[in-house]
């Protein structure tokens, strides 16, 4: 028996790993996709910043006054290169702008300096040329806002100093000072909540995505191992070998688990890289994230590994039960594909909302789906909430045991063979009559 089981597991793993589709979806994809996602986010953020930094702005100065010169100085101080155009009208300047790689034209109309000196409103015109609709373009066009507001606040400060000699202008401008703190797990952190919430958003989208993709591919693997035996007509021979039916089921399951475990390991590595890329966007030099408990502890990683494992086994058992009833790989895969909805729904709902804030009936439905617990456990791992993780492991394990019992029932009766026979007999009888 032990011999036969070993034999079967070895063959399953060998066969699965020789299937390029499975290798690609289970191991290579998570290993590549998540680090790529992380670096892509990093690279594009950096690129946006870089391109904004190198921006050159065209200037049409029709004022030539003192204030116009001060404004130009403010631009240079803020590292924005100004290119003064030779054009004499706005239309000419805009035509010229179209032929360059500059995207912004600042026009200082005549009377600008005079108005400001007289205490009237000075007017400025900023033209932004849109060449594409990306975030980078947006960043380029908004680059003139900073020097203008710097110049403006200098004017304001000057006016305040003139009106209230001896007073700190900031007490007039911002009479109230607000300091923001975040409280995480009882620790007060000197980070604004807006920074933290953007971090949490990336976490709560990232984990459900990983779990969903992993389960979907694991189920495809398991469904394939059973249904390919039916499709390639190897199952009947296997069932007449001197190995118990439960041995065959165990072999199939363990074989798929080995391959899925490789997939889980690959995605843990991938996720680890992904989260570290996300973390690197935070101002780490000012905040020690590990001291705050915002990075995963080894226990969290361990428990998350267990959650992933039981979740995968349960998905595999589910796929095997389904595949036992289907006649070929395609039908097994499409039924399993349809069942993906039980991963997709909790994943999507929990991406946008915490389970506690949902209406009670929806909460109950979600809690009944075992895969909800996998996602909750992943969130809990991040917060170090071990109790939630233990509860998830327990619930998913119970569900898995029930599924395995059903799978064993199917395997030990003739159902695994007959679904097809009875169908075929009916056909031949009908033909002969």
Partner 1 sequence: MNQIAIEATGLVKTFGNIRALDGLSFNVAKGEIFGLIGPNGAGKTTTLRILATLIKPSSGSAKVFGLDVEKDASEVRRIISYLPEEAGAYRNLSGREYLEFMANFYSLNNHDSHVAVEDAAEISGLGERLKDRVKTYSKGMGRRLLLARALMMKPRLAILDEPTSGLDVVHAYHVRRIIQDYVKTYGVTVLLSSHNMLEVELLCSRVALINEGRVIGEGTPQELKSFHRASNLEEVFMEATKLG
Binding site for partner 1 (CB under 8 A): 3-4, 7, 11, 14-15, 18-19, 232-234, 236-237, 239-244, 414, 417-418, 421-422, 425-426, 428-429, 431-432
Closest contact distance (angstroms) between CB of 331 and partner 1 is 17
Nearer to partner 1, 10 or 185 (CB): 10
Nearer to partner 1, 259 or 307 (CB): 259
DSSP class of residue 288? -
Nearer to partner 1, 185 or 425 (CB): 425
Nearer to partner 1, 11 or 167 (CB): 11
Closest contact distance (angstroms) between CB of 308 and partner 1 is 27
Strand 104-108 with 56-61, pairing: parallel
- The 3-state DSSP class for residue 16 equals helix
Q: Computed over its alpha carbons, how large is the radius of gyration of the chain?
A: 32
Alpha helices in 19-132 (DSSP H): 20-23, 29-53, 66-77, 90-98, 112-117
Nearer to partner 1, 194 or 432 (CB): 432
Closest contact distance (angstroms) between CB of 244 and partner 1 is 7
Closest contact distance (angstroms) between CB of 299 and partner 1 is 40
Task: Calculate ∠ Cα 153-158-164, nearest 5°.
Answer: 120
Nearer to partner 1, 15 or 385 (CB): 15
Closest contact distance (angstroms) between CB of 261 and partner 1 is 20
Nearer to partner 1, 28 or 241 (CB): 241
Of the candidates 235, 354, 371, 380, the one whose C-alpha atom is nearest the C-alpha of residue 296 is: 380
Closest contact distance (angstroms) between CB of 100 and partner 1 is 60
Nearer to partner 1, 277 or 333 (CB): 333
Closest contact distance (angstroms) between CB of 14 and partner 1 is 7
Does an H or E element contain 106, and which?
strand 104-108
Nearer to partner 1, 132 or 422 (CB): 422
What percent of the residues of the chain are helix, what percent strand, and what percent coil, each to the nearest 5? 70, 5, 20
Long-range contacts from 240-249, C-beta under 8 angstroms, 24+ separation: 241/4, 242/4, 243/1, 243/4, 243/5, 243/8, 244/1, 245/408, 245/411, 245/412, 245/416, 246/408, 246/411, 246/412, 247/1, 247/4, 247/5, 247/8, 248/8, 248/411, 249/320, 249/407, 249/408, 249/411
Please give the distance of CA 83 from its chain centroid, rounded to a whole number.
Answer: 41
* Structure tokens belonging to residue 47: 């690129």
Strands, E, within 255-326: which ranges? none
Closest contact distance (angstroms) between CB of 227 and partner 1 is 13
Dist. CA 265–CA 267, nearest whole Å: 5
Report whether 11 contacts 228 (CB < 8 A). no
Q: How many CB atoms are closer than 10 A to CB 111?
A: 15
Closest contact distance (angstroms) between CB of 318 and partner 1 is 24
């Amino acid at each position: 028996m032990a011999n036969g089981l070993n034999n079967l597991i070895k063959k399953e793993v060998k066969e699965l790993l020789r299937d390029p589709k499975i290798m690609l979806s289970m191991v290579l994809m998570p290993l590549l996709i998540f680090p790529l996602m992380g670096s892509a986010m990093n690279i594009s953020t950096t690129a946006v910043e870089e391109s904004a930094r190198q921006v050159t702005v065209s200037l049409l100065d029709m004022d030539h006054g003192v204030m116009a010169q001060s404004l130009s100085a403010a631009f240079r101080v803020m590292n924005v290169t100004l290119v003064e155009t030779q054009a004499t009208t706005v239309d000419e300047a805009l035509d010229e702008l179209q032929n360059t790689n500059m995207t912004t034209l600042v026009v200082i109309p005549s009377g600008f300096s005079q108005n400001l000196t007289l205490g009237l409103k000075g007017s400025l015109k900023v033209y932004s040329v849109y060449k594409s609709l990306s975030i980078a373009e947006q960043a380029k066009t908004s680059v003139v806002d900073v020097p203008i507001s710097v110049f403006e606040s200098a004017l304001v400060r000057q006016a305040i100093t003139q009106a209230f000699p001896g007073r700190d202008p900031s007490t007039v401008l911002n009479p109230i000072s607000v300091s923001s703190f975040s409280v995480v797990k009882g620790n007060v952190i000197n980070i604004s909540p807006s920074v933290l919430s953007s971090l949490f958003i990336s976490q709560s989208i990232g984990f459900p995505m990983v779990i969903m993709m992993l389960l979907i591919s694991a189920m495809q693997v398991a469904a394939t191992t059973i249904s390919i035996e039916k499709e390639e007509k190897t199952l009947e021979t296997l069932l007449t070998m001197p190995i118990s039916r439960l041995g065959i089921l165990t072999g199939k399951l363990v074989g798929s688990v080995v391959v899925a475990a490789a997939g889980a390991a690959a995605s843990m590595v991938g996720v680890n890289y992904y989260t570290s890329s996300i973390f690197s966007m935070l101002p780490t030099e000012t905040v020690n994230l590990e001291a705050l408990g915002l990075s995963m502890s080894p226990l969290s990683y361990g428990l998350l590994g267990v959650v992933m494992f039981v979740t995968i086994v349960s998905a595999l058992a589910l796929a095997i039960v389904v595949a036992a009833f289907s006649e070929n790989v395609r039908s097994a895969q499409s039924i399993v594909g349809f069942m993906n909805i039980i991963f997709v729904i909790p994943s999507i709902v929990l991406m946008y909302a915490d389970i506690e804030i949902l209406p009670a009936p929806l909460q109950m439905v979600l809690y009944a789906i075992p895969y909800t617990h996998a996602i909750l456990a992943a969130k809990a791992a991040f917060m170090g909430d071990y109790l939630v993780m233990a509860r998830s492991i327990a619930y998913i394990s119970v569900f898995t045991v029930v599924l395995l019992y059903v799978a064993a029932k199917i395997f030990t009766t003739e159902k695994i063979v007959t679904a097809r026979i009875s169908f075929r007999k009916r056909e031949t009888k009908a033909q002969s009559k």
